[in-house]
Copies of this chain bind each other. A is one copy, B any other.
Amino acid sequence: MIPSTGPHRVDPALDPGGAASPGLSVTGTRLANGLQVVAIPDRRGPIVTHMVWYRNGAADDPPGKSGIAHFLEHLMFKGTRTHPAGHFTEVLAALGGQENAFTAYDFTCYFQRVPAEHLALCMTYEADRMRNLVLTDEAVASERDVVLAERGMICDSDPGALLREAVATAAFPAHPYGRPVIGWRHEIEGLGRADALAYYERFYTPSNAILVVAGNAEPGRVHAMAEAAYGAIPAAGAAPERRRVQDPPVRAQRRITLADAKVRQPHMVRVFAVPSYGTGRPGEAEAFEVLAVLLGHGPTSVLHTRLVVGRRCATAIGAGYSGAHMLEQAQLSISGVPASGTTPEALDEAVEEILSALAESGFAAEDVVRAKRHLVAAALYERDSQSSLAQWYGTLLACGLDLEAIGAWVSRVEAVTPEALRAALLTLDRRTGVSGYLRDDAAAARLPREAIP
């Protein structure tokens, strides 16, 4: 799972500048063994969200071992030296708690939601599997089959997913963001116990982890509980370095076409590799956030207005920016469903015309104001949920931002200038972008399906 973007902050109506008031008093401390501890007060109810984030994900999979981060996430439920597989899950279920885990490119997260009085219990179990994981060859083999089945279901049998993989591979030709989080099938098949243990020992250390607790718990008490549960885990030195292969500069337009009789809904997607929060200049990532809203969030967005309502060559169109949950580069993506009689390629061409016109005209000032307001409000509404709030903090912390930078997000969005927006728009140059076309016909095919190697 990859979380969507958005921040938590006080209601901008009460704090219009977005920077003056401290708003939410999120506090961070650190244990002696390096574990970062973040407490987010939320006194609205008796529930607490407990999350451990590791600063590693699929982008840290070694070459030839794609999928190991996600595979290990599965294996973290296979029991420890202290507790058999399934025990923690049963305990949580008996308490009416919930749990989940997800792997993204730059982080892996384990979380539980429980009645507040059971926070210490979650910590005890999570600390246990941070150091005591037990992996048998049988557990690894059977879980590998589970992951392969998952890949079969969500990727291999879905032409749209296969197109997304091919587009990402084109957009990130060398960087591991070009490999799927779940891994390539032929590499998942080769993953074994030794791979999982090596990855576990390298990354599952306190100095590589962030504990995020949201709920009705005093920060000092959260720290003390964390010290009791996690403090005994030995320090493992500095967090492992994130050394990823970087992409060369791109000078060519890439177009990817996948045609399959199973496609029920043709579509197009345009992807540009752009800076992230971690790599952009100050304000640059925020400009891409606003740009994505202006282009493709909701019925007042430029692309919807001109292509769905105006030309009627699309039935749906949207834009997104992934800079808040990708550390080293991000995607600005535009995706659309062509109207009947329009090909995905023709819709892509229409998108290009809109982008070209915008490069000349810029955006209307009132549209920019409205987009910023929409972005901030949508983020606020989404972060009204305790777990979404905790997830927002965990994601950005895992992507290298500090609490101050996260707290200043609203004011930085407000500060995005028309010039910054135009600069962001100009980077969406099709000569360096990737277009993907999902077709339901055999137009691109000359041979029977069986001939595909």
Could you tell me which A residues sit within 8 Å of B by CB distance? Answer: 63-64, 159, 162-163, 165-166, 169-170, 173-174, 178-179, 184-187, 243, 245-246, 248-260, 352, 355-356, 359, 426-427, 429-432, 436, 444-447, 451-453
Identify which of B248, B255, B259 contacts A257 (C-beta below 8 A).
B255
Residue contact A186 to B248, C-beta cutoff 8 Å: yes
Instruction: Write out the residue numbers on chain B whose beta carbons fall within 8 Å of the beta carbon of A250.
Output: 166
Residue of B nearest to A169 (CB): B173
| Contact (Cβ within 8 A) B444 A253 | yes
Residue in B178, B251, B444 whose beta carbon sits within 8 Å of that of A162 in the complex: B251
A195 to chain B, nearest CB (A): 14
- Select one of B63, B254, B431 contacting A63, CB under 8 A: B63
Across the interface, which residues of B come within 8 angstroms of A256, CB to CB?
252-255
Q: Is the CB of B452 within 8 A of A432?
A: yes
What's the nearest-Cβ distance from chain B to residue A317, in Å?
A: 19
For the complex, what is the distance from the CA of A453 to the CA of B352, rounded to whole Å? 19
Per the bound structure, the CA–CA distance linking A369 and B427 in Å amounts to 54
Closest to A250 in B: B166
CB A79 to nearest CB in B, in angstroms, measures 32
Is there contact, CB below 8 Å, between B246 and A257?
no
Q: Are B446 and A355 in contact (CB under 8 A)?
A: yes
Residue of B nearest to A178 (CB): B173
Contact present for A453 and B254 (CB under 8 Å): no
Q: Which residues of B contact A355 (CB under 8 A)?
A: 446
Q: How far is the CA of A252 from the CA of B168 in the complex (A)?
A: 12
Q: Which chain B residues border A431 with CB–CB below 8 Å?
A: 257-259, 444-445, 447, 452
Tell me which of B64, B245, B254, B429 contacts A255 (CB under 8 A): B254
Q: Give 8 CB contacts A-B under 8 Å.
A: A63-B63, A64-B243, A173-B173, A174-B179, A184-B248, A258-B431, A430-B444, A431-B447
A256 CB, nearest partner CB in chain B, Å? 5
Partner of A432, one of B179, B356, B426, B453: B453
Q: Are B254 and A254 in contact (CB under 8 A)?
A: yes
Contacts of A255 in B (CB 8 A): 254-257
For the complex formed, measure the closest distance between the CB of A88 and the CB atoms of chain B, giving whole angstroms: 34
Q: Are B427 and A446 closer than 8 Å at their CB atoms?
A: no
Which residue from B174, B352, B445, B446 sits with its C-beta under 8 Å from A446? B352
A432 contacts across to B, CB distance below 8 A: 452-453
Residue in B169, B426, B447 whose beta carbon sits within 8 Å of that of A359 in the complex: B447
In the complex, how many angstroms separate the beta carbon of A145 from the nearest chain B beta carbon? 19
Interface pair B452/A245, CB less than 8 Å apart: no
- Give the complex CA separation of A185 and B187 in angstroms: 29
Query: Per a CB cutoff under 8 Å, which of B248, B254, B430, B453 touches A427?
Result: B453
In the complex, which residues of chain B have a beta carbon less than 8 angstroms from the beta carbon of A259? 253, 431
Chain B's nearest CB lies how many Å from the CB of A355?
A: 7
Identity of the chain B residue whose Cβ is nearest the Cβ of A167 in the assembled complex:
B252
Name the CB-closest residue of B to A184.
Answer: B248
Closest CB of chain B to A41's CB: distance in Å? 42
| A173 and chain B: residue at smallest CB distance | B169
Q: Which among A243, A248, A356, A430 has the highest number of chain B CB atoms within 10 Å?
A: A248
C-alpha spacing A429/B253, complex, angstroms? 21
CB contact between A429 and one of B163, B184, B246, B447 (< 8 Å): that residue? B447
Contacts of A174 in B (CB 8 A): 169, 179, 184
Docked CA distance A163–B173 (Å): 14
Closest chain B residue to A159, Cβ basis: B251
Q: Is the CB of A426 within 8 A of B444?
A: no
CB-CB under 8 A from A257, the residues of chain B are: 252-253, 255, 431
Q: How far is the CB of A65 from chain B (nearest CB, A)?
A: 9
